[in-house]
Amino acid sequence: MGRTLAEKVWDDHVVRRAEGEPDLLYIDLHLLHEVTSPQAFDGLRKSGRKVRRLDLTIATEDHNTPTLDIDKPIADPVSRAQLETLRKNCAEFGVRLHPLGDVEQGVVHVVGPQLGLTQPGTTVVCGDSHTSTHGAFGALAFGIGTSQVEHVLATQTLPMARPKTMAITVNGELPEGVTAKDLILAIIAKIGTGGGQGYILEYRGEAIEKLSMEARMTICNMSIEAGARAGMIAPDETTFDYLKGRPHAPEGADWDAAVEYWKTLRTDDDAEFDAEVVINAEELSPFVTWGTNPGQGAPLSASVPDPASYEDASERFAAEKALEYMGLEAGQPLRSIKVDTVFVGSCTNGRIEDLRAAADLLRGRKVADGVRMLVVPGSARVGLQAVSEGLDVVFKEAGAEWRHAGCSMCLGMNPDQLAPGERSASTSNRNFEGRQGKGGRTHLVSPQVAAATAVLGHLASPADLSDVETRTPAGV
Amino acid sequence: MEAFTTHTGRAVPLRRSNVDTDQIIPAHWLKKVTRDGFEDGLFEAWRKDPEFVLNRPERQGATVLVAGPDFGTGSSREHAVWALQNYGFKAVISSRFADIFRGNSLKNGLLTVVLEQKVVDALWELTEQDPTAEVTVDLEAREVRAEGITASFELDENSRWRLLNGLDDISITLQNEDDIATYEAGRPAYKPRTLKV
């Protein structure tokens, strides 16, 4: 019987397989950041161990980093101490680090791909659940805890039980104005936050094949919000074109050998998945969340659901709690929800294509009075690219704040936070209670919906902008 | 890691599903660089409500958390496990755990037990009616016991063996260092490297 993409990559990394034991998997790339690594380095130090493969390890600073005044000392002493700890650990153990201010600094899941380190058929881990992002290249990539970070540093391997496989087949083409973010939010709403638990997802089908690498990363990024540790997309010409010429992409004969291998990384026709979900792309429309987990979402054209409509008692209770926290009424049209803040950025939607999409809608328009809009590039390189295209000017002229790279308001470990009761439209990945700041209320959206929402002041799609003339003639 | 064989203690019934790791330990606590001192951050936002179950006087000193489905969803932060342990929990029972959280818990000796929702319901009813009711989580027998309730649970033999003996994963893996070296010798040249060697 044939094998799935996930099974092929898994099998190629088994260092040791023994009855009654998890497989011991080799790890090709280990990404580190300041939050989940200090206790792992401490563990190495206590047991007198070294980093086994410095040449497969790379670190950057992202979760705590400020997005303003990055040339000044970090104001929060605890954040500063954590970043200094990473710097000390990397210096002591010899790990390559891209610190704040470095041109390669940024959100770890934006940095790996843009350097060309994330490649098809590799295993990628990081002490961060959004490591699933890298699966967009046909890599097997998953988030790990700090004990596992220490394990990989010491051994370059991980003992892992092999998950089951689930195909998410997206047939047809996404309609005009419907993005990868809308698609993944719709998938999570369909299968639930636990639907992918125990599986590696493989996104496939016509709609997926037509997506750019940036859009594929958005999809794979949020696999974890459906409970799946990893999500993958088979590599193809789009993948190879993205990688060619990047700093760490193979060259010459190595490139040819790599591409030959990468082309084998497709699920065989006779392979069987343990589960399959089929989605019709043509039925989709812009999608937003109304609740406090990423599965609590609906098309923007819908209304806030009535908790009484849920048959399952625990879902009903969760919906009641969510509406209470979010300050929403059942039956209220989603478009009527007014926001205070719009955040464009994160490992989900902080890449150049996302910034271009938001800027295209903001060009010649203004952010609504009373709305604060933050645009945070996913990496310093993305920021530079945006500046070279003049996008920063577009954002600033529209009244948005153009910031430096980092995780920023996705989780508010730096000063970019919502105040209690404030409401955001956010291109990030989690709408958990307090995620963006204590008492903050989050609606997850695409960059396009974020931009339209910023202009109109309430949840809105780009199509809503054409109903009202919001562009000044000079800006068109 | 501390070994886990069997534990008996009072329970905290937490009737919530999708308890994500941002609720278990909010992000601003993640700036600490140690594995201890997280107890005050556990369920920090919910604990502001004096009626929250963890704040009730009869729940003080309880060591078994009985939660709704999809416990531990969200981020990979192992701090969530440390916070539960720092607070005093020895075991968490739910009908479904998020994968990364579950893996983290088992690596730290916090036993996460999967039971059917109807058993979780029974444990909620029992411990809500009688806060002094004790719950036993027996890893040797793979069984949870409380008054009127006996339920067996699954845990793969390898994880169970590691927990029962409090074994350190890294030492176990390094016993197979030859296998790792052999694998490394066969890796193709085109694989990415972060440093020039």
**Alpha helices per DSSP H over B8-76:** 21-24
Residue of A nearest to B34 (CA): A39
End residue of a domain, out of A275, A310, A332: A275
Partner residues linked to B113 by β-bridges: B93
Q: Least CA distance to B73: which residue of chain A?
A: A227
Both tokens of residue A430?
């989690």
DSSP designation for A471: S
Read off the pLDDT of residues A350-392 as tens digits, 9 standing for 90 and up: 999 999 999 999 999 999 999 999 999 999 999 999 999 999 9
Residues A326 and A239 in one domain: no
CB contact under 8 A, B99 and A198: yes
Tell me the shortest Cα–Cα distance from A249 to chain B, in angstroms.
Answer: 7
A470/A473 Cα distance (integer angstroms): 9
Distance from C-alpha of B196 to C-alpha of B173, rounded to nearest angstrom: 27
| A397 and A266 in a common domain | no
Average pLDDT over residues A443-471: 92
pLDDT at A417 over 90: yes
Cβ-Cβ contacts under 8 Å, B74 against chain A = 129, 224, 430, 432
| Per-residue confidence (pLDDT) for residue A314, from 0 to 100 | 85
Residue with tokens 């933050």: A374
CB < 8 Å to B32, chain A: 78, 82
Taking the C-alpha atoms of residue A406 and residue A62, their distance in angstroms, rounded to an integer, is 5
The answer to whether residue A397 sits within a structural domain is: yes
User: Are B28 and A146 inside 8 Å of each other by CB?
Assistant: no
Per-residue pLDDT averaged across A192-200, rounded? 96
Nearest one of B136, B73, B103 to A433, comparing CA atoms:
B73
Instruction: Specify the 3-state DSSP secondary structure of A85.
Output: helix
- Nearest Cα to Cα of residue A192 among A15, A61, A319: A319
At residue A49 the predicted structure's pLDDT band, cuts being 50, 70 and 90, is very high
Candidates B33, B155, B157, B195: best to mutate against A (most CBs of A within 10 A) is: B33
A198 with A72, same domain: the answer is yes
Instruction: Give the whole-angstrom CA distance, residue B57 versus residue B96.
Output: 28
Same structural domain for residues A268 and A375?
no
The string of pLDDT tens digits covering residues A232-277 is 999 999 999 999 999 999 999 999 999 999 999 999 999 999 999 9
| Set of chain A residues whose Cβ sits within 8 Å of the Cβ of B195 | 54-55, 96
Residues near A294 by beta carbon (within 8 Å), at least 6 away in sequence: A185, A188, A193, A222, A225, A226, A429, A430, A431, A444
Say if residue A207 is in the same domain as residue A320.
no
- Looking at chain B, which residue has its C-alpha nearest residue A436? B27
**Interchain proximity B188–A257, CB inside 8 Å:** yes
- The amino acid sitting at A294 is P
Select the residue of A15, A117, A145 nearest B104 (Cβ to Cβ): A145
Residue A170, SS3? Answer: strand
Which is it for strands A57-60 and A14-16: parallel, antiparallel or unpaired? unpaired
Q: Which CATH superfamily is domain B6-185 in?
A: Aconitase, domain 4 (3.20.19.10)
User: Domain segments of chain B: what residues?
Assistant: 6-185
Q: Are strands B64-67 and B6-14 parallel, antiparallel or unpaired?
A: parallel
Q: What integer pLDDT is reported at residue A475 of this predicted model?
A: 45
What CATH number is associated with residue A163? 3.30.499.10
- Of the residues A275, A296, A313, the one at which a domain ends: A275
Q: Tell me what pLDDT residue A313 has.
A: 87
- Phi, psi torsion values for A306, nearest 5 degrees: -90, 120
Residue A293 belongs to some domain of the structure: yes
Length of chain B: 197
Is residue A168 in some structural domain?
A: yes
* Element at A136 (helix H, strand E): none
A344 φ, ψ (degrees, to nearest 5): -115, 120
Average pLDDT of chain A to the nearest whole number: 97
CB pairs under 8 A between A and B: 208
Q: With cut-offs at 50, 70 and 90, classify the pLDDT of residue A473.
A: low
Quick check: B38 and B83 in contact, CB under 8 A?
A: yes
For residue A39, give the nearest of B35, B107, B176 by CB distance: B35
Question: B98 to chain A: which residues are within 8 Å by CB?
Answer: 194, 197, 227
CA dist., res. A200 & res. A123, Å (int): 13
**Model confidence over A315-360: pLDDT tens digits?**
899 999 999 999 999 999 999 999 999 999 999 999 999 999 999 9
Confidence of residue A157 (pLDDT cuts 50, 70, 90): very high
Asked if A144's CB is within 8 angstroms of B100's CB, the reply is yes
* pLDDT of A474 strictly over 60: no
One domain for residues A446 and A363: yes
d(CA B142, CA A171): 44
A407 annotated as a binding-site residue: yes
* Residue of chain B nearest A24, judged by CA positions: B173
Considering the domain architecture, whether residues A41 and A126 belong to the same structural domain is answered as: yes
Mutation choice for B interface testing from A147, A243, A261, A325 by most B CBs within 10 A: A147
For residue A208, give its domain range. Answer: 5-275
Q: What is the DSSP letter of A338?
A: B
ipTM field: 0.95
| Residue A476 pLDDT exceeds 60 | no
Name residues whose C-beta falls within 8 Å of residue B151's C-beta, 6 or more positions apart in sequence.
B115, B116, B119, B143, B144, B145
Quote the minimal CA–CA distance from A363 to chain B in Å: 35
Tell me which of A411, A432, A436, A442 to substitute to probe the interface with B (most B C-beta atoms closer than 10 Å).
A432
B20 to chain A, closest Cα gap in Å: 7
Q: Which of A14, A28, A157 to mutate to test the interface with B (most CBs of B within 10 A)?
A: A157
A280 in any annotated domain: no
**Facing A122 at nearest CB: one of B158, B179, B192:** B192
A255 touches A167 (CB < 8 A): no
Q: With contacts defined as CB-CB under 8 Å, which chain A residues touch B169?
A: 147, 151, 159
Low-confidence stretches of chain B (pLDDT < 70) are 197
The stretch A161-165 carries a mean pLDDT of 96
Half-sphere exposure in the Cβ direction for A373 (13 Å, CA): 31
Dist. CA B10–CA B146, nearest whole Å: 10
- Structure confidence by residue, pLDDT tens digits, A112-137: 999 999 999 999 999 999 999 999 99
Backbone angles phi, psi at A71, to 5 degrees: -85, -5
Give the C-alpha separation, A256 to A258, whole Å.
5
Q: Is the dihedral of CA A107, A436, A396, A474 positive or negative?
A: positive
Distance from CA of A186 to the nearest CA of B (A): 18
Of B74, B75, B99, the CB nearest to A229: B99
A103 & A40 share domain: yes
The response to whether A90 counts as a known ligand-binding position is no
| pLDDT at A469 (0 to 100) | 66
Alpha helices in A127-205 (DSSP H): 146-155, 180-191
For chain A, the farthest-separated pair of C-alpha atoms sits apart, in whole angstroms, at 70
Q: Taking a C-beta distance cutoff of 8 angstroms, is the pair A133, A214 a contact? A: no
Q: Distance from B112 to chain A by nearest Cα, in Å? A: 15
- For B31, the closest of A15, A78, A122 (CB atoms) is A78
Domain-embedded: residue A17: yes
Q: Which residue in this structure is represented by tokens 């690596």?
A: B107
The number of domains in chain A is 2
Whether A270 and A414 map to the same domain: the answer is no
Residues above pLDDT 90, as percent of chain A: 97
Q: Which residues contact B154 (CB under 8 A, 6 or more apart)?
A: B114, B142
Are A219 and A332 contained in the same domain? no
Rounded Cα gap, residues B67 and B69, in angstroms: 7
CB atoms within 10 A of CB A211: 21
